[in-house]
Every structure is written in C-alpha cells, then in structure tokens.
Structure 1
Amino acid sequence: MEYAIGVGLAVLAGLFLSSAGLDRDRAAYPVILIVIAVLYELFAVMGGSTTALLSELLPTAVFVAVSVLGFRTSLWWVVAGLIGHGVYDILHPAIFTNPGAPVWWPMFCMAYDVAAGVFLSWRLMRLRGPQAGFA
C-alpha cells in the first residue's frame, strides 16, 4: 500500500504542478527534493534523537547540493537526485537508526521519489527548446 500511495501522490503532485503552471519556474522540483531530503531530520527531532539528527545531516547536504546544482545547470540533476533519494530510502533502515521515522516511510518515500523523478524526466523529454528548462 505504501508504494501505491507514494506513486499516486507523486503523479498527482506532478500533474497539479504542470496544470497550475507552477513547474514553469525551474525551482519547483529542486525545492521538492530539498523538502524530501530534510524530512529525515524532522523525524530525528520528532524521535528526540540528537545522534540521528547529526547522522542525517551529511546525506541531506548532498541532496541539497544536487538540488542547487540542478537548479543552476540542468534539471536532469534533480531527476538523478530524486531517483537517488529513492535508492537512499531503501538503504536507509540498514544504515541509520532514526526513532522518529515511521516503519512504512522508506517504502512510501522511495515510491514517491522515483515516481517524481520519472515524472520530471517525462516532462523534460516532452518539452523542447527554451521550455525544456522550464524557465
């Protein structure tokens, strides 16, 4: 169920961003990746674990850096960051102990991240010329 909900929400969010014109600004998907990346810090705070909070900072910094790189150069970096975060989600429980993260979160977030990355990839391939960077 976590996978279906993650994919469904990512597709609905992508369709909403596109239909509302919010993705015309090339910052939309990089900001989404940043929000996705900092959620593990939120879970660490909710779980009251300073150790988890500190251990989550480096991976989050990597995804934030990829977001900024993608914003400044090519949104294909953001595609890679979203799909990469999906891989990170699956590996996360084996690498980190974060008491605030729900048990179902890695599956949900992986599905959302990969679906969002595929959706953005589809948008980038569908658009040509000046619109390919969204603005």
Structure 2
Amino acid sequence: MIETIIGVLAGLATIALARKIRGEHWVYALSLISLPTIYAGFAWYAGETRIGWQEMFFGLPFLIGGVVLTLARQQFRWAAAIVGALWLAHGGYDLLHPQLFINPGVPAWYPAFCAGVDIVVGLYLLSLAATPARRDLQTA
C-alpha cells in the first residue's frame, strides 16, 4: 500500500516537473520508452538475459509509442489521449506483472509503485486530452 502511495506522489511530481519545464508535449511520450527498459534492466542485473529480452518484447508497444509520439509533431490533445492510454495500459501491466513474469530482479514493491505513477500520469493526460485546447500545451 505504501508503495502505491509513494508511486502516486512520484506521478504528481512528474506532472509538476513536466509543467514547470514546459515539456508536456514531449516528456510523457519520451518517458514511455523507460517503462519496459526498467523491468528489463532489473532482469539483466539479476543475470536473467532471456527474461530481460522478454520484458522488452512485451514492452514494444510502449517503446514504439514513446518513440513515434515523441517524434510526431501532432496536436497535443490527440497525442495526449494516446500517450495517456499507453500509460494506463502500463499501469495494468504493472498490476499483472507478478503473474506474467518470474523476474528475480524486480523488487517486490516495484510493480505497485510503478502502477501508482502510471495511473496518475495516464489519468492526467486523458483529462488534458478531454479539456479544450490551450495554446501553451500544443507542440510548436
């Protein structure tokens, strides 16, 4: 439970930082790339190369989505809806992770922490996508 609360707080800090640096049009999409690489990194650190590559394979939607949406010069609301949905999907992945993989490198607390971050960021992005356009949130 405490892991999830800390994850929610980390998600709120991520949102605050992205707003402060005026990077909302790229920070969230670029950050999607890190989500599967963290799980893979845990596996590789534990010496489980095969599991690390499996984590990367299952993380392909997040990797591809992060790269494409970071490079795309689309209107922010459209991209925010897709990136928000991907963040929420990764939150679901986090919650199911212990049933999907035996990854000895992943700390027991990490999936709940990551789900907290992912769900907060995903819901925030979907709320941005649903609000009327603001000039300061659109890509240049």
Shift of 1:69: 4.0
Amino acid at match of 1:39: I
Shift of 1:131: 4.4
Query: For 1:46-125, what aligned pairs fall within 5 Å after superposition?
Result: 46-71=45-70, 72=72, 73=74, 74-125=79-130
* Uncovered stretches (5+) of structure 1, i.e. residues with no partner: none
2:33 match: 34
- Provide the C-alpha distance between the structure 2 equivalents of 1:93 and 1:128, rounded to a whole number of angstroms: 39
Q: Any conservation in 2 of the 1:79–1:120 contact (CA below 8 Å)?
A: yes
- Kindly tell me the number of residue pairs found equivalent between the two proteins: 133
> Structure 1 stretch 78-87 or stretch 111-120: which is displaced more?
111-120
- Give runs of ≥4 in structure 1 deviating > 3 Å: 68-71, 123-127, 129-135
Shift of 1:78: 0.7
Amino acid at match of 1:92: H
Q: Any conservation in 2 of the 1:43–1:101 contact (CA below 8 Å)?
A: yes
1:76-132 deviation per Cα after TM superposition (whole angstroms, max 9, x unaligned): 111111000000011111011111100011111011101011122233334515545
The structure with the greater share of residues assigned to helix is 1
- Provide the C-alpha distance between the structure 1 equivalents of 2:86 and 2:120, rounded to a whole number of angstroms: 12
RMSD value, Cα: 1.8
Normalised to the residue count of structure 1, the TM-score between the two structures is 0.87
Gap change, CA 1:121 and 1:86, over 3 Å in 2 = same
- Provide the C-alpha distance between the structure 2 equivalents of 1:134 and 1:119, rounded to a whole number of angstroms: 18
- Provide the C-alpha distance between the structure 2 equivalents of 1:97 and 1:75, rounded to a whole number of angstroms: 32
* Uncovered stretches (5+) of structure 2, i.e. residues with no partner: none
Q: Any conservation in 2 of the 1:2–1:108 contact (CA below 8 Å)?
A: yes
- Provide the C-alpha distance between the structure 2 equivalents of 1:21 and 1:62, rounded to a whole number of angstroms: 26
Q: Any conservation in 1 of the 2:84–2:125 contact (CA below 8 Å)?
A: yes
- Provide the C-alpha distance between the structure 2 equivalents of 1:21 and 1:27, rounded to a whole number of angstroms: 9
Gap change, CA 1:54 and 1:86, over 3 Å in 2 = same
Amino acid at match of 1:118: L
Normalised to the residue count of structure 2, the TM-score between the two structures is 0.84
